[in-house]
Amino acid sequence: MLPSDVCGMNCFWEAAFRYSLKMQPVERVHLAVVACGERLEETLTMLKSALIFSIKPLQFHIFAEDQLHDSFKGILNSWSFLQTFNYSLYPITFPSENAAEWKKLFKPCASQRLFLPLILKEVDSLLYVDTDILFLRPVDDIWSLLKKFNSTQIAAMAPEHEEPRIGWYNRFARHPYYGKTGVNSGVMLMNMTRMRRKYFKNDMTSVRLRWGDILMPLLKKYKLNITWGDQDLLNIIFFHNPESLFVFPCQWNYRPDHCIYGSNCQEAEEEGIFILHGNRGVYHDDKQPAFRAIYEALRNCSFEDDNIHSLLKPLELELQKTVHTYCGKIYKIFIKQLTKSIQDRYDRPPKER
């Protein structure tokens, strides 16, 4: 303890408090993805985008087919010099009595995400993303939305559409869905402790059911009426439990539907795209070259600061070649937040990068 004239009468307690702060474990952001088939490169590019910009350490939970495990290990172990992440690899696992039915729902393995609260029992909160996601700002920022949940909210997603005239659920769905246009589950933030505790209202019984008990009855009732698999089941659940969902804006899950018929995500126009979602396979064909340009720039860049900083000018030149498309006409929203994220990364002390 230092003399009181050096650090005040509360010096002993201040010193103890500072010591206790140092001893607190660093909060990790938990990020989960499910990879099957030809999704290795896409998944690694998503993970790379998360690592480039994030501030807190990351814990990756990667659910993958067995034949992909060695490839994931090889690449992720080669990134260990970053010292900013840990990872766990898991096999694809469904309840044994209905495994075949779950595996073939919508796309191979996609419905794995429904069982994450039951498999990752020690994880309190989790950000699940599809393999075709790219982070254009720190993962920490979407993670911070957990603090905005009210006492009834257990998960967060973005609307499926902003414009009802081109909405899928409100025009074609043969099952209940959340809100006016449904929600998209490609980016899903979850308080899994709350999900495991909650009893859900449903249209199968007057008794409320827990997460682990509601999924199979729901599939049995609606399997002939659902098109988008697990996303449809989530829409049905939150239709009956709307108080449990936090809805975040479209810039956190920006898809081709937000620009292929003209721009309809106002938040992205104002602040840029925060998370890019290249569904419809647009990273790998020529239909939406603006999406492909962002994907290829992040796929090809390395973790060195100079390399990351220098990707912007070539990327903007590539995007300028896409102005013949509706999405390309507004290409500046694709790099607005990305430019800021790169600058913010550059401004941080080297130890925090």
Q: Does 210 fall in a domain?
A: yes
pLDDT over 90 percentage in the chain: 72
Domain identity same for 115 and 208? yes
Residues 104 and 148 in one domain: yes
- Domain end, chosen from 221, 248, 275, is at 248
Model confidence, pTM:
0.90
The larger pLDDT score, comparing residue 94 to residue 88, is at 88
CB 136 within 8 A of CB 275: yes
Q: Give the number of domains in the chain.
A: 2
**pLDDT tens for residues 235-272?**
999 999 999 999 999 999 999 999 999 999 999 999 99
- Helical pair 40-53 and 332-347, crossing angle rounded to 10 deg: 50
Q: Is the pLDDT of residue 148 over 90?
A: yes
Query: Residue 240 is encoded by which pair of tokens?
Result: 């009956």
Task: Name the least confident of 73-77, 118-122, 283-287, 309-313.
Answer: 309-313
Q: Are residues 223 and 103 in the same domain?
A: yes
- Whether residue 161 lies inside any domain: the answer is yes
Give the CATH number of the domain where residue 230 resides.
3.90.550.10
Say if residue 238 is in the same domain as residue 269: no
Is residue 7 very low, low, confident or very high in pLDDT (cuts 50, 70, 90)? very low
Contacts of 258 (CB under 8 A, 6+ apart): 162, 250, 264, 265, 268
pLDDT tens, position by position, 129-147: 999 999 999 999 999 999 9
Q: Which domain holds residue 319?
A: 263-347
Tell me how many helices (H) and strands (E) the chain has: 17, 11
85 and 207 in a single domain? The answer is yes
**Calpha distance 49→32 (Å, rounded):** 14
- What contacts 136, CB < 8 A, 6 or more positions away? 49, 53, 272, 273, 274, 275, 276, 294, 337, 338, 341
